[in-house]
């Protein structure tokens, strides 16, 4: 028999419910159907039809799909397929049944309990693992892609019911020639989660993702973002000028080692910040595992189940986020 050279066929998806909706796109939970009654739950992300004809949005959507397709890592939401129906592009992605970090933090606020320190550090370390993979990724020709996510924040971190922590939404990432980029002219990202370089219309590198990751860690520990203001411009000014507090004075069980990690992550001078996600990951893991046993996915899964008060942890999923 001749070697099989190509397989072609029809990919079919049944949309089951809307997960999220933004200004420029929508994300659905869907079922991928195949031969022999094959069924797989996925997330389908679409650009709104009115934006599909705009070349900038179209190219960024294609660029995001191409970029994430090669970012195969347990701490990054996977992309399976990019398709087009009529004039509308869609992206098929891993469906994550769980909650995003914003929902996780909000549930603690409702119950008036803090996130345990070890779990806060563990969750942050898993995001750092995903970033370390993305930041060091090369293309098939061996060129370094110089990926910068530029949108690190609680809504873009998912916790699966199994305890996996996953980074999602590379929609405004910077990556070599894959994504449309007006850096220096416009601000990309959410005001209260910007790096100082972003807030100041500067040029970013991978270290720009570590400052907002530090913000995420402090939000997990304090239940609030210290830089957030009702006024967006004030949030940006806070990123640039707000005095960084001693966090142990805001939460007494933050010890000196963790304080040092936070302070370094929030260094406004990027040359004094962690110089790579791997370096930050190493410090976070030394903190939680330096004395032996520490948090695991399984521990986080049980904690999540108890936090949301469910016998069988099937938590309504926010899925992946739509383009905004």
Same domain, 149 and 103: yes
Specify the 3-state DSSP secondary structure of 125: helix
| Marked catalytic residue, from 70, 151, 209, 312 | 151
Same domain, 71 and 127: no
Q: Which residue has the higher pLDDT, 6 or 274?
A: 274
Active site residue 177: no
Cβ pair 116, 292 in contact under 8 A: no
Residue 280's contacts (CB-CB under 8 Å, 6 or more residues apart) are 128, 210, 213, 261, 265, 274
∠ Cα 59 60 64 (to 5°): 120
Q: Is residue 258 part of a domain?
A: yes
pTM for the complete prediction?
0.91
Residues 296 and 156 in one domain: yes
| 221 in Cβ contact with 251 (< 8 Å) | yes
Last residue of a domain, one of 67, 94, 121: 94
What integer is the mean pLDDT of 127-137?
97
Domain that holds residue 81: 12-94
Query: Among the three residues 28, 63, 94, which one is the final residue of a domain in this structure?
Result: 94
- Give the CA angle between residues 15, 20, 23 to the nearest 5°: 115
The predicted pLDDT at position 124 comes to: 98
User: According to the model, what pLDDT value does residue 31 have?
Assistant: 95
183 and 254 both lie in a single domain:
yes
Q: Is the pLDDT of residue 322 over 70?
A: no
Q: What is the pLDDT of residue 315?
A: 45
Residue 35 placed within a domain: yes
pLDDT of 107: 97
* pLDDT tens-digit series, residues 67-120: 899 899 999 999 999 998 887 889 999 999 999 999 999 999 999 999 999 999
Residues 6+ apart with CB under 8 A from 306: none
The arithmetic mean of pLDDT across residues 260-264, rounded, is 98
Question: Is the domain of 34 the same as that of 106?
Answer: no
The confidence score (pLDDT) of residue 56 equals 81
Q: Count structural domains, the chain.
A: 2
pLDDT bucket at 186, cuts 50 / 70 / 90: low
CATH code of residue 74: 3.30.200.20
Average pLDDT, the chain: 89
For 208-249, how does the pLDDT look when each residue is reduced to its tens digit (9 = 90+)? Answer: 999 999 999 999 999 999 999 999 999 999 999 999 999 999
């Amino acid at each position: 028999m001749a070697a099989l050279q190509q397989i072609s066929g029809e990919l079919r998806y049944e949309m089951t419910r809307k997960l999220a909706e933004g200004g420029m796109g929508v994300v659905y939970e869907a079922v991928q159907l195949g031969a022999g009654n094959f069924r797989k739950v996925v997330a389908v992300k679409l650009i709104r039809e009115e934006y599909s004809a705009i070349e900038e949005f179209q190219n960024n959507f294609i660029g995001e799909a191409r970029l994430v397709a090669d970012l195969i890592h347990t701490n990054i939401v996977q992309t399976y397929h990019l398709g087009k129906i009529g004039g509308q592009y869609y992206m098929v992605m891993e469906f994550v049944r769980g909650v995003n970090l914003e929902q996780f933090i909000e549930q603690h606020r409702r119950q008036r309990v803090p996130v345990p320190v070890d779990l806060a550090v563990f969750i942050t370390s898993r995001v750092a693992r995903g970033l370390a993979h993305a930041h060091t990724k090369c293309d098939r020709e061996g060129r370094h892609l110089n990926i910068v996510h530029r949108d690190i924040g609680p809504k873009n971190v998912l916790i699966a019911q199994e305890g996996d922590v996953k980074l999602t939404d590379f929609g405004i990432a910077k990556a070599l020639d894959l994504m449309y980029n007006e850096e220096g002219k416009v601000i990309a990202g959410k005001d209260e989660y910007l790096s100082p370089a972003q807030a100041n219309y500067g040029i970013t590198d991978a270290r720009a993702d570590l400052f907002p990751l530090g913000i995420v860690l402090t939000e997990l520990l304090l239940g609030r973002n210290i830089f957030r203001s009702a006024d967006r411009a004030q949030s940006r000014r806070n990123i640039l000028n707000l005095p960084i507090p001693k966090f142990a004075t805001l939460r007494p069980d933050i010890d000196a080692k963790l304080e040092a990690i936070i302070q370094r992550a929030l260094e406004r001078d990027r040359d004094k910040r962690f110089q790579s996600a791997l370096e930050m990951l190493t410090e976070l893991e030394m903190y939680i595992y330096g004395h032996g046993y520490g948090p695991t996915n399984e521990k986080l899964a049980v904690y999540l189940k108890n936090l949301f008060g469910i016998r069988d942890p099937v938590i309504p999923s926010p899925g992946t986020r739509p383009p905004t």
